[in-house]
Structure formats: structure tokens, C-alpha cells
């Protein structure tokens, strides 16, 4: 997520509020964080963010000496910690807003960009507050972690809060599917759904040992059972496949497996790996130039597309995809970590290209070139 830093004054615990740049004297200010570039600090706001460094803090919650405050927009939602770190947890101009549920996970994928931790603060109350502040016209919200189902039935409360605040929004949940092997939990989950919702689940191989060696847990058949349990309740299910050296050779076989066993799947996404976190630590075992798995990828895409399944390619640059596959490429990288490199400067297809993860600036295909 986008982050800024400053010097915190009188902030003893985390603060969450909605950004405003308009000092309206008659507005309810209790949930508002005022952003200003001058030294006039109004009263009544939850907190004030300013680019000024020499200010009279009095007893006000102020974060001073913040650079790039123009990156904060009216109706953004931010958290502020006592050290002065400002995190944008809801970007009003983004199509990729998510609710981060937990840092814990019951898998430990070898290429996970955000490795799990065993201990964490409780995000539940913060997330309920975040949801209460989200713009009511929002059309999409993601739920992610870690593994969101690890908060158990509290996940149902999150869904209820979303429905109360933004009932017309579509919800996407990223889950490894393991918890859904429990039929009763899946039933409760299904009953808590009141709006359009898709659960996206990773499946990395048609071979149990390969999938398990990638997620580093013995969970292949639990995930399969979870997919079937979700299907029993007519919940939309997506499958996500991150491609790397450990699984690229069997992409066509995985595609056949998906069609044969899950013809009801709502969407399948083949994804270029993000080289950060665990992926960067295990790069020698994982990295393969995407040019070198195009043959397998094209076969897999054709197997699914020819059978009328909805299939996409995420995170892949247009210039390295065969011409026939470019129409499947989707701009899916979150705004705050989506970049283009120097070679893209003169590309005629740049506006349509998914671009790169920021972490891919130095680790990318040898085939990158302007179209």
C-alpha cells in the first residue's frame, strides 16, 4: 500500500480516518483527517497532516513534516501510527482496494510475495472502522491476507459490515481454500453472503506432490475438497496459477485437470510471479524467463478457452506474449506497485499493457521491447 512518513505529535495509538482537504466549519469532523500545506492548524479533526515542520502542536494530533502530501486525496482512508507512518488503506482513485484481514497463513508458499507471520495485532476492529468509512458508491472491494478464513466466523461479520455499507459492491476474496474443506464452515460462509462474491483459490499443479511442495503444506486434497464444498453452495470460484520453474512444464495438464474436475469454475488466471518476499529468497529455484514457458502457457490457455471457460493472464507484459495470447492479458497489478521501465517509453501499446511489479524493475524477461 502507499505510505508516507512524518513526525507524529500527541499520537499514542493507531488512528484511522478519512482524508479531507476542505476545512468546513459545519462538517462533522470526528472521523476526518485534515491535510494542509500551511501552518494554520484547525481544531476538531481526528488528526491533521501537514507538510510544515515548525508548528505549534498544543494538544492536537498532528503529523508534521510530511512530504508528497499531494498524494493524499479527498476521501482516501488512512491509518497513522505513533511513529508517524501514514498508510493509505483505501485509495479513492484506485480499482484495487482491499481489506487486509490477517498476516497469518496456514500455507507458506515458496513464492509468496508477503510471507506469513505467526503473531500479529488484531485487525478486526480497524477493518470494521475502515468499512464504515468507505465511499458508499464503491463498486469493488477485495479481501486478502495472509489467509482470511483464519479469523473464523469473524469473516462473516466483515462480510455483513461490507453489505451494510456498500451493498452494491462486488467482493473478491483471496483464499487458499483449505478452511472450506469444513462443510459446516462453508455452509455458514455461504449464508453470510448477501452480494456478488468470488473466492479465488490457488492451484499450482495437477500433481499433489508438486502443489504441496510449492505451498509447503500437505493441503492439495483439502483445497480440492474446499473447491467442491464452495461449489455445492453455488459460490463463484476462481483459480489462480502463479507460474515458475517448479510448475510451468505441466500447465497443459493442469488445464485439462481443471476442465475435467471443475467445469463450473468462474475464472482461471495464469499469473507471472512477483519477485519479492519468499520468491526473491528462492529465486534460483523459481525464476524462469516468461519467454521460456510461452509454449506451455499457450497450450493451457487454448485448452480452457476452446471449452468456453473464462481465462486470463495476469501481470504479463504484452511484448513477451505471443500475438494470439495478448487479448487474454489483464491489467491486474495494484496501482501503487505498478511500474513501466525505460524500454516501455516508446511502446505504442503501453496504455494497454499490464506493466511490471515495482520489484520486477531489475528482474524481468530478456524479451522486453517496445511494440
Residue 28 near residue 73, CB atoms below 8 Å: no
What domains are there in the chain, each with its CATH number? 3-89 (3.50.30.10), 98-360 (3.20.20.70)
% of the chain with per-residue pLDDT over 70: 98
User: Among candidates 172, 239, 169, 171, which has minimal Cα distance to 203?
Assistant: 239
pLDDT in tens, 275-284: 999 999 999 9
More confident residue, 114 or 184: 184
Strands 85-90 and 98-100 come out as unpaired
Nearest-angstrom CA–CA distance, 1 and 20 = 19
- Neighbour count for residue 201 (Cβ, 10 Å): 21
Residue 2 near residue 15, CB atoms below 8 Å: no
Alpha-carbon Rg of the chain, whole angstroms? 22
Task: Quickly tell me which residue has 461490507 as its cell.
Answer: 162
Residue 52 near residue 64, CB atoms below 8 Å: yes
Residue 309 near residue 268, CB atoms below 8 Å: yes
Q: Sign of dihedral through CA atoms 328, 333, 334, 338?
A: negative
**What integer pLDDT is reported at residue 221 of this predicted model?**
98
Cis peptide before 146 (omega within 30 of 0): yes
pLDDT in tens, 51-91: 988 776 666 788 989 999 999 999 999 999 999 999 999 99
In this prediction, residue 335 has a pLDDT band, given cuts at 50, 70 and 90, of: confident
Q: Which grid cell is 344?
A: 516501455
pLDDT in tens, 172-227: 999 999 999 999 999 999 999 999 999 999 999 999 999 999 999 999 999 999 99
φ, ψ for residue 340, nearest 5 deg: -130, 145
Amino acid at each position: 500500500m502507499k505510505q508516507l512518513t512524518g513526525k507524529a505529535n500527541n499520537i499514542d495509538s493507531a488512528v484511522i480516518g478519512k482524508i479531507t482537504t476542505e476545512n468546513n466549519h459545519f462538517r462533522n469532523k470526528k472521523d476526518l483527517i485534515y491535510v494542509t500545506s500551511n501552518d494554520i492548524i484547525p481544531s476538531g479533526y481526528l488528526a491533521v497532516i501537514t507538510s510544515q515542520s515548525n508548528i505549534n502542536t498544543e494538544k492536537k494530533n498532528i503529523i508534521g513534516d510530511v512530504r508528497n502530501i499531494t498524494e493524499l486525496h479527498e476521501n482516501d482512508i488512512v491509518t497513522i501510527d505513533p511513529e508517524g507512518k501514514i498508510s493509505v488503506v483505501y485509495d479513492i482513485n484506485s480499482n484495487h482496494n482491499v481489506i487486509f484481514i490477517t498476516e497469518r497463513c496456514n500455507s507458506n508458499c515458496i513464492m509468496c510475495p508477503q510471507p506469513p507471520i505467526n503473531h500479529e495485532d488484531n485487525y478486526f476492529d480497524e477493518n470494521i472502522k475502515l468499512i464504515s468509512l468507505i465511499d458508499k458508491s464503491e463498486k469493488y472491494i477485495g479481501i486478502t491476507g495472509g489467509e482470511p478464513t483464519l479469523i473464523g466466523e469473524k469473516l462473516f461479520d466483515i462480510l455483513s459490515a461490507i453489505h451494510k455499507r456498500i451493498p452494491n459492491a462486488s467482493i473478491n476474496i483471496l483464499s487458499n481454500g483449505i478452511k472450506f474443506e469444513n462443510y459446516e464452515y462453508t455452509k455458514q460462509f455461504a449464508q453470510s453472503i448477501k452480494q456478488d462474491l468470488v473466492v479465488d483459490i490457488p492451484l499450482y499443479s495437477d500433481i499433489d506432490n508438486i502443489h504441496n511442495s510449492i505451498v509447503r503444506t500437505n493441503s492439495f486434497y483439502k483445497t480440492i475438497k474446499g473447491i467442491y464444498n464452495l461449489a455445492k453452495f453455488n459460490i463463484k470460484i476462481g483459480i489462480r496459477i502463479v507460474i515458475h520453474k517448479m510448475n510451468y512444464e505441466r500447465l497443459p495438464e493442469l488445464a485439462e485437470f481443471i476442465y475435467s474436475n471443475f467445469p463450473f469454475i468462474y475464472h482461471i488466471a495464469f499469473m507471472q510471479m512477483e519477485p519479492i518476499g519468499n520468491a526473491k529468497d528462492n529465486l534460483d529455484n523459481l525464476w524462469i524467463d516468461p519467454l521460456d514457458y510461452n509454449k506451455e502457457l499457450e497450450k493451457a490457455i487454448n485448452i480452457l478457452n476452446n471449452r468456453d471457460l473464462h481465462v486470463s493472464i495476469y501481470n504479463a507484459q504484452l511484448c513477451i506474449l505471443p500475438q494470439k495470447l495478448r487479448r487474454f492479458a489483464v491489467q491486474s497489478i495494484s496501482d501503487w506497485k505498478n511500474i513501466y521501465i525505460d524500454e516501455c517509453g516508446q511502446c505504442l501499446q503501453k496504455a494497454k499493457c499490464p506493466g511490471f511489479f515495482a520489484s520486477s524493475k531489475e528482474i524481468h524477461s530478456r524479451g522486453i521491447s517496445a511494440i
